[in-house]
């Protein structure tokens, strides 16, 4: 009786294995004939059978490869209804190919085919992430680019770190700073380097109001890239935000010595010295740096407009002093007139710059500023002409 039972078990097991191989063969044939829905049904029946793990390793691997091929064909199909029945087709392709790679013998025999198919999945995720980034869906972009990176890393692709860098930047754009920091740290652990890495990582820390960590990152970046314009400027901005204006301008002035024709540095110094909300405010120095920028680049709109606005601000400060005089003595009246003349002289000095800015970009905002200057100087004809435009 025992022998009969053992024989029966062997027969049943053999029948099960044959059934699984039939499912696998059916899947292959359905796929070959373009009957992808039936192919999916057969291959899922094969790999999800209780006895699937009892198949020979190479037979299992072959089933996984068939599964990857089937779902790739579904992805490439123009049949949207078919695709809707396998919304996770791409994930199943990748899962199946990873299963194939677990069998070293089978993988070595089919390496080129498997790598090409894995590469296609990676490219699909990368393209999807790039498209999402272009339409400013940064959260989706980060997710797809991270998946592309994970696959690229598995393949040992030299482009893997670039993909993770793009995923990190998408997180920055999405304001997911914690995730961005994690990815940038992973890049550093991967021995990936670059001044933009330090810049973006520092920005992520700044956005989380962790200025100490941001300063640490910028310092590390400048140690490797001492002439990095982006890191130097970010360091200046960080110092300004911390109330270290003197240190900030010292860094910029030192950089300007090395780049005497860099009008953007001149403009930056003009902006810093021209900010009367800061202790470092110095109108004369601001004028000097704006003039240097304009002399270097005569059509530099930002410097031209800012210089005109600076003269208005300097004039307003003097006018405020005049308005504080409340007495009517001769000395007080003379002092008042003197201050008003100085204030108007500054308006006259700034007027050509604002007019030039308006000619270059006749926006409503600049037009209003120009009109206010004409009014201050009692230039009624110019006011009428401007209002008639």
Question: Is the pLDDT confidence value at 290 over 80?
Answer: yes
Confidence band (pLDDT; 50, 70, 90) for 20? Answer: low
Question: Is 363 within the bounds of a domain?
Answer: yes
Choosing from 109, 129, 157, the residue where a domain stops is 109
How would DSSP label each residue in 238-279?
HHHHTT-HHHHHHHHHHHHHH-TT-HHHHHHHHHHHT-TTST
Question: Is 274 within the bounds of a domain?
Answer: no
Average pLDDT of the residues in 198-203? 96
Question: Is 182 within the bounds of a domain?
Answer: no
Choosing from 109, 126, 149, the residue where a domain stops is 109
How would DSSP label each residue in 149-209?
HHHHHHHT-TTHHHHHHHHHHHHHHTT-HHHHHHHHHHHHHTT---HHHHHHHHHHHHHTT
Sequence length of the chain is: 389
Question: Is 23 within the bounds of a domain?
Answer: yes
DSSP symbol at 82: H
pLDDT the model gives residue 241: 87
pLDDT the model gives residue 227: 81
Question: Is 68 within the bounds of a domain?
Answer: yes
Q: Which residues of 70-79 are buried (b: 16+ CB within 10 A; e: fewer)?
A: bbbbbbeeee
Computed over every residue of the chain, the mean pLDDT equals 90
Average pLDDT of the residues in 316-338? 90
Question: Dihedrals φ, ψ of 252, to 5°?
Answer: -70, -40
| pTM attached to this predicted model | 0.72
Is the sign of the CA dihedral 194, 200, 206, 210 positive or negative? negative
Question: Is 65 within the bounds of a domain?
Answer: yes
C-beta neighbour count of 340 within 10 angstroms: 16
Residue listed under structure tokens 């050509």: 352
Question: Is 219 within the bounds of a domain?
Answer: no
Choosing from 55, 87, 109, the residue where a domain stops is 109
Question: Is the pLDDT confidence value at 251 over 60?
Answer: yes
Confidence band (pLDDT; 50, 70, 90) for 275? Answer: very high
Segment 64-91, tens digit of pLDDT: 999 999 999 999 999 999 999 999 999 9
Dihedral Cα 247, 250, 254, 257, nearest 10 deg:
160
- Of 17 and 294, the one with more pLDDT: 294
The total domain count for the chain is 2
pLDDT the model gives residue 27: 83
Segment 101-157, tens digit of pLDDT: 999 999 999 999 999 999 999 999 999 999 999 999 999 999 999 999 999 998 899
Q: How far is CA 268 from CA 182, 217, 223, in A?
A: 32, 23, 23
Q: Which domain holds residue 21?
A: 17-109
Question: Is 263 within the bounds of a domain?
Answer: no
């Amino acid at each position: 009786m025992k022998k009969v039972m053992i024989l029966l078990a062997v027969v049943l097991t053999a029948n099960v294995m044959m059934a699984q191989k039939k499912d696998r063969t059916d899947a292959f044939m359905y796929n070959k004939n373009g009957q992808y829905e039936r192919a999916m049904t057969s291959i899922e029946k094969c790999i999800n059978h209780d006895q699937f793990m009892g198949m020979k390793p190479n037979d299992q691997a072959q089933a996984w490869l068939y599964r990857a091929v089937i779902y790739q064909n579904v992805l490439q199909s123009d049949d949207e209804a078919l695709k809707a029945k396998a919304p996770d087709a791409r994930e199943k392709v990748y899962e199946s190919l990873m299963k194939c790679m677990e069998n070293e013998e089978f993988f070595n025999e089919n390496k080129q085919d498997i790598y090409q198919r894995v590469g296609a999945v990676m490219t699909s995720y990368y393209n999807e992430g790039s498209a999402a980034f272009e339409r400013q869906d940064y959260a989706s972009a980060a997710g797809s680019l991270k998946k592309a990176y994970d696959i690229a890393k598995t393949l040992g692709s030299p482009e893997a770190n670039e993909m993770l860098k793009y995923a990190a930047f998408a997180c920055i754009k999405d304001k997911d700073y914690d995730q961005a920091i994690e990815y940038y740290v992973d890049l550093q652990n991967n021995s990936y380097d670059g001044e933009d890495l330090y810049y973006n990582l520092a920005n992520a820390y700044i956005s989380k109001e962790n200025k100490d960590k941001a300063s640490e990152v910028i310092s590390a970046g400048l140690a490797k890239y001492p002439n990095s314009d982006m890191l130097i400027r970010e360091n200046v901005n960080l110092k300004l935000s911390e109330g270290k204006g003197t240190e900030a301008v010292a860094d910029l002035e030192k950089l300007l010595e090395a780049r005497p024709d860099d009008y953007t540095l001149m403009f930056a110094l003009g902006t810093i010295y021209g900010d009367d909300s800061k202790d470092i405010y110095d109108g004369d120095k601001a004028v000097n740096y704006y003039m240097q920028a304009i002399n270097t680049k005569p059509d530099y709109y930002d410097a031209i407009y800012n210089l005109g606005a600076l003269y208005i601000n300097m004039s307003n400060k003097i006018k405020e002093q005049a308005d504080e005089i409340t007495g009517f003595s001769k000395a007080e009246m003379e002092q008042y007139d003197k201050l008003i003349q100085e204030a108007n002289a500054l308006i006259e000095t700034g007027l050509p710059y604002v007019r030039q800015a308006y000619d270059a970009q006749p926006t409503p905002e600049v037009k209003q500023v120009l009109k206010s200057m004409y009014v201050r100087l009692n230039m009624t004809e110019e006011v009428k002409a401007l209002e008639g435009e």
